[in-house]
Amino acid sequence: MIATFLALLFFAPDADAARKAIDAALGKLKPKEAVVAVTYETMYAKAALEGKPLVVFVACKMRDVKGALVHAMTEFPDLKGAGIVVGIPYGQKVWRFDMPATATDAEIQDLIWRKSPISPPPSLVPGGIRLEEC
């Protein structure tokens, strides 16, 4: 262990890099440098806080959705099989809309645009899309 620290001190590109490596090895990372695990709960909170849509790809390939936060999961409550769950923030809550796994980027964007918080959340959902609070 001592040899590792000495090697870091003498062979690191600069003193700051060596100090960070030693601090990391000793578990002394500063709070702002700590790594936060990306979970559904953290993404949900971020979506509600930032007012951005959250698109969760369930048992299907995750891809970028312009203007939205994205997350991937292997399963999701009350969703059977693969699908896409779109969360639209309204205040501090995120409303849930389920889509098939085959939905295109354009269909996801269209749903986000139609369900944006410009108007209050719909009480009835047209077209068989299920609406509920996540």
The one-digit pLDDT tens for each residue of the chain (134 residues) are 444 444 444 454 555 665 666 566 666 555 555 556 689 999 998 888 888 999 999 999 999 999 899 999 999 999 999 999 999 988 777 899 999 999 999 999 999 988 876 544 444 444 444 445 44
What pTM was computed for the model? 0.62
pLDDT at 38: 86
- The pLDDT value recorded for residue 116 is 78
Q: Which CATH number fits domain 40-133: 3.20.20, 3.40.30, 3.40.50, 3.30.450?
A: 3.40.30
d(CA 74, CA 92): 26
Neighbour order of strands in the sheet with 69-73: 69-73, 54-58, 83-90, 93-99, 131-133
CATH 3.40.30 in the chain is located at: 40-133
